[in-house]
Structure 1
Amino acid sequence: MLKKLLFATALLHAVTWQASAQKKTAPKPPNIVLIVSDDHSAPFLSSYGYPQIKTPNIDRLAAEGIRFSRAYTTAPQCVLSRAAIMTGRNTLDVQMTRFSAPLDASVTSYPELLRKGGYHTGILGRNFHLDGNRRVPETVAVLEKYGLETFKNRVDYLNATGNRDSIFQQYTEFLDKAPKDKPFFVQVGYSDPHRIFNAKNFEPDPQSLTLPRHWPDTKGVRADFASYLGEIQRLDSDVGRVLDDLKKRGLEENTLVVFIGDNGGALLRGKGTLYDLGIHVPLIIRHPKLIKAGQVSDALVSGIDIAPTFLTVAGVPVPKEITGKSLTSAFTDPRQGGHEYIFAVRGAHGQGLPTNSSNFDLGRTIFNKKYKLIYNAIWQIPYHPVDFAGQPFWLELKQQHAEGKLDEKFDQLLFAERRKMFEIYDLQADPDETNNLSGRAEVAAVEHDLKARLQEWMILNRDYLPLPIAPEN
């Protein structure tokens, strides 16, 4: 009896020791660094095929990882888009179509899930936009009265700044204080290339630039575009500082680095619109051990896919409420992953009154790799630019329009008195989205199919807009 007891005790010690040894030698889950640029349309990086911009650090990230050529945000505006990225759920689903709204405490963000899974978590740099807006005193009073600013409780480290050097200082402070026995997640947000453009030392020669074909070629447009590209080149140098620091700390080999734009640039037919320049953003992911270098994926990817990707990499269960799809299958085979259809919404922008389509516009879009449908619910109001209505180049274009001197093609795109309620584009034949096919017999079946799919999505997500297919009279 004593021998049996001694044997059982020894066996228990052996099993305990083995489990302890395995625990000690088990690999630590990957660290995650999410770098977010602000107002960054996808074409404007050299790794995305735009030749007149120099972005060696972001290009290196792409060369060492996977670049998604067809990544889209769920909205052409920061608050709405970031809410979807942070939750893995679309903008309507998390009720974040009002620009100044805080993310409700009942909606779980992926940093909270990573934190529960053992990660040390942080958000720093550019304002993350999900705790409401403090510019209007009456709004601040509501936020404080009802305790609606919740992100201080969602992460371990929270700090916001727009200053470039302060962002890097916050980043290093976060890593210095991160527990060594835990993996970490950190979102590093930058203000570039958001207006105001002031990266004068980084600007390329305006005359050397290739303009998008659906832009008028004026001196003012070229100068403004050069200033935008200068912001991206300055951003690239800041990204380089983060990448170099990770390598210096010996963290590079086990860190998933992700670079993404929050929405498209404040450019002609960009930010605030559902056209390509408004929602098509760069997305690059690198991890030396998980991702084969130099891959390019043309899968249709949405901002809602970021959360499930991070959770899957971290070994954290993905809640059923998350509707995004993990991109991890593309890490080894770029043909895998993505969606058949992408959906995006346009809601209120900023805190201004609804005096134009910049402040207030309501629209929806659905598209696949071939066709795109845009539904302009407030079709009676014309296009009005977001964030640059007072810029000299736009005022010059307005003057040319008023004097009848602007080319008719650009005049119709930018200054039509009212828009069409529906727009449909053949994305392969017309990637600039300038030839609206809505109502034409040759695309009637396609248009109806897209409207029906959008109708289903709007119903399931309790959309408050009128549905795109009306009852027959």
Structure 2
Amino acid sequence: MLMNDLIMPQRALLLLFLLAFSVAAERSSASAADRPNIVWIVSEDNSIHYLEHFFEGGAPAPNIEAMATHGLTFNNAFSNAPVCSVARTTLATACYGPRIGTQFHRRYAMAPMPKGLRMFPAYLRDAGYYTTNNSKKDYNAVEGQGVWDASSRNASWRNRPQQDQPFFHMQSHAQSHEGSLHFNRAVFENDKTKTDPNSIQLADYHPNTALFRYTHARYHDRMLDIDAIVGKTVQQLREDGVLEDTFIFYFGDHGGVLPRSKGYIYESGLHVPLVVRVPENFKHLAPTANGTRLNGFVSFIDFGPTTLHLAGVKVPSQVDGKAFLGKDISESAINARDVSFGYADRFDEKYDFIRSIRKGKYQYIRNYQPYLPDGLNNNYRYKNLAFVEWRDLYNAGKLTGPAKQFFESKPPEMLFDCETDPHQINNLANDPKHAKVLAELRERLQQTVKGLPDLSFYPESYLAENAMQNPVAFGQHHKQEIAELVDIADLSLVPFEQAKPALLAAIASGDPMKRYWAAMTCTAFAADAEEITANVKPLLKDDALIVRMRAAEFLGRIGKINPQTTLIQIVNTTQNSVEATEALNSIVWFRDFFNDKYPVKRSDFNPVSDGADVDDRLNYINGIPYPPKGAKGKARKQRTTKSKKP
């Protein structure tokens, strides 16, 4: 009896153990089955304006529209930046570029990831997902280890070692890339498009020419190609038996690609198509019924957190984005989101510094270098014949109205009603009826750039030498100074007499960055600031070359000096090729937009620093077509001192 008494409890314990193990195994299996696959299909360089599903006059896209029928359309999805490397780094990091040092296209120095943060696919991989990328990365941040199981032109979910393993796959398609519009005149004259050029509805700011209509029609054809690719990917998932276990995101990687889109912070550069196909087996993770169009704002900082949340993976606290799909996210919560932040800085050799806030139907744009026209030369841009024709028409005096704006200086701030003015040609910033909206959005943007803080309030040449070892720490360490620089920059938003005392104090400051911003603010004021010329002239001999550069801009703009003398000297003496590129940006502006008042020639230059952007500017000045024949393409590099610790 005693032995039986001992054996029976042991058997009972064994049965209980086996039962518990079985339940745990079932839970583990259920947990794996509860994790959806996620696929991103990314078309390069297209905004909403080229798809009929989003914009009247766009191309038909039956496969993308079929996805929408079986899923959700996001009417207000935004890239935070209007160009590839900056936008894609925002996607990978879920962080605002100006906060982490990844805002310039393309980088001179790779930014490290913020401390304790990895690119989001790494967290999926840690959770058991098979992560693949086919194949464009174009990051401005150091990728780090463990992000992708495979990243190549052969990478596919089909290569995962266990076919029941959940996967995340990102597929980029270049058929719609800007390069598809770099055709020559023979193509324009002889190759017909599928889309009738006469059916095209041109943007209000484009000249109505045969070349512009052809270019637009040719891009519609590229969108037909993209739609076919989307359909093929959906079919592959169906053939593999995983379609109804897979969320499929289709979106453009930023706006584009006709003139005044890619690279520019307007809706044409930021507002992207986004359709998410919802799988039948995971429709409980969707906030509403298939076929719904959602009006809430989502942007690229949110895409990574959304993917993690759908997969049941914790979203890191260091990111700037917030999930917009998945468990416990309602339709009303999505539609309550109504703000998106945008940023545009250097694009290859072309500098500008612009920030935007889109809230509701209004977009507020802050031009921190308003004197620089959008049409300032960028070699890659002007490989597009439509760009060249547009500039030729301007130089010939044949443009009027909105078509002329692209080649003129911009106001410091702009406000657009994106519903009534989708092409953004009517600036409401000076309209008294919109004064309240203007003030609200101005304050919101000021709070945003101070709160990040926005590293671009230091020139890129300074950041390259001082901040890139740890941009986030540098920003936090200099947060108060950045706020003070923002205030100096924003003096251009008030009448000059009101700004004058603070401007004079900044000019006399012992801080070179305050002198730098004081000079740029004077340039924004132009002739209004002429009375303080004597205060600015000493800055031409400032210890900081970047301050000399900005002083020369102001004095050249108001005709007090030939700025090219100072600017050429900077190019020829600086050891920092980023600084040389900054000076060359101003040199080209003065050469091209001041009625031949400030000519330069290639023999004026003998730079001691080199790099692709310096070469591009000098080749342009020398009249050499881009890219020059036989060019191997120099790496973007600069001769600088090693980045200093913050």
TM bin, normalised by shorter chain, reads 0.7 to 0.9
Could you tell me how far 1:396 is from its partner in structure 2? Answer: 2.6
Query: Structure 1 unaligned runs (5+)?
Result: 133-147, 160-166, 353-358
Q: Distance in 1 between matches of 2:24 and 2:402?
A: 71
Shift of 1:225: 0.7
What's the counterpart of residue 24 of structure 2? 19
Answer yes or no: is 1:64 the counterpart of 2:89: no
Please tell me the residue identity of whatever aligns with 1:129.
Answer: D
Superposed displacement of residue 100, structure 1: 2.8
Answering whether residue 125 of structure 2 is matched by residue 115 of structure 1, we say yes
Equivalent of 2:100, from 75, 94, 97? 94
Query: How far did 1:51 drift?
Result: 4.4
Distance change >3 Å, CA 51–CA 346, structure 1 → 2: closer
Cα 1:314/1:433, change in 2 over 3 Å: same
Alpha-carbon distance, 1:234 to partner: 1.2
Amino acid at match of 2:388: L
Q: CA deviation at 1:333?
A: 5.6
Q: Distance in 2 between matches of 1:297 and 1:330?
A: 17
Give the Å deviation of 1:319. 1.3
> Distance between the aligned counterparts of 1:15 and 1:201, measured in 2?
69
> Which aligned pairs between 1:222-237 and structure 2 lie closer than 5 A?
222-237=213-228
Moved more, 261-270 or 439-448: 439-448
When structure 1 is superposed on structure 2, of 275-284 and 226-235 the one drifting more is 226-235
1:284 & 1:45 partners in 2: Cα distance? 12
The answer to whether the aligner puts 1:436 opposite 2:430 as a matched pair is: no
Distance 1:320 1:377, change over 3 A: same
Match of 1:404 in 2: 397
**C-alpha distance in 2 between matches for 1:202 and 1:251:** 36
1:191 equivalent to 2:174? Answer yes
Distance change in 2, residues 1:247/1:103 (3 Å): farther
> Any idea what the Cα deviations from partners look like across 1:430-465, whole Å, max 9, x if unmatched?
222111122443323322221211111111212132
The verdict on how the C-alpha distance between 1:414 and 1:181 changes in structure 2, with shifts beyond 3 A counting, is same
Alpha-carbon shift at residue 131 of structure 1 (Å) = 6.0
- CA distance in structure 2 between the partners assigned to 1:7 and 1:298 by the alignment: 58
After superposition, give the CA deviation of every residue in 1:8-39 in whole Å (9 maximum; x if it has no partner).
33222222222223333442411111111110
Q: Deviations over 1:341-387 (max 9, x none)?
A: 2111101112x3xxxxxx21111001211322111111111112764
Matching residue within 34, 37, 41 for 2:40: 34
Q: What is the identity, as a one-letter code, of the residue corresponding to 1:120?
A: Y
The whole-number CA distance in structure 2 between the counterparts of 1:234 and 1:330 is: 34
In the alignment, is the contact (CA less than 8 A) between 1:123 and 1:186 conserved in 2? yes
The CA distance in 2 between the partners of 1:59 and 1:331, in whole Å, is: 27
Do 2:309 and 2:327's aligned partners in 1 also have CA atoms closer than 8 Å? no
Pair 1:175-2:180 in alignment = no
Q: Secondary structure in 2 aligned to 1:297?
A: strand
Give the TM-score normalised by structure 2: 0.64
Give the superposed CA RMSD: 2.5
1:128 aligned partner: 137
In structure 2, C-alpha distance between the alignment counterparts of 1:93 and 1:68, rounded to whole Å: 26
- Identity among equivalent positions (%) equals 25
Matched, 1:85 2:94: no
Cα distance change, pair 24–414 in 1 and its aligned pair in 2 (3 A): closer
1:321 equivalent among 318, 321, 334:
318
Match in the other structure for 2:520: none
Unmatched 5+ residue regions in structure 2?
184-190, 458-484, 492-497, 502-646
Give the TM-score taking structure 1 as reference length. 0.86
Aligned pairs (5 A) from 1:242-391: 242-289=233-280, 290=283, 291=286, 292-328=289-325, 334-337=331-334, 339-350=337-348, 352=349, 359-384=350-375, 387-391=380-384
1:392-422 per-residue CA deviation (whole Å, 9 max, x = no partner) reads 33333323223322233321x2221x11111
Letter in 2 for 1:109: M
Worse overlay, 372-381 or 389-398:
389-398
Contact 1:66–1:331, Cα closer than 8 Å, also in 2: no
CA radius of gyration, larger in: 2
Please give the residue correspondences for 1:430-469 in structure 2 after superposition, counting only pairs within 5 Å: 430-464=421-455, 465=457, 466-467=485-486, 469=490
Q: Does structure 2 conserve the Cα–Cα contact (< 8 Å) formed by 1:30 and 1:256?
A: yes
- Cα distance between partner residues in 2 of 1:151 and 1:122: 15
The SS at the match of 1:459 is helix
Once the two structures are superposed, the pairs formed by residues 411-430 of structure 1 within 5 Å of their partners are 411=404, 413-416=405-408, 418-430=409-421
| Bigger fraction of residues in helix | 2
Of stretches 72-81 and 94-103 in structure 1, the one that deviates more from structure 2 is 94-103
**Hey, what does 1:47 align to over in structure 2?**
53
Deviates more, 1:189-198 or 1:219-228: 189-198
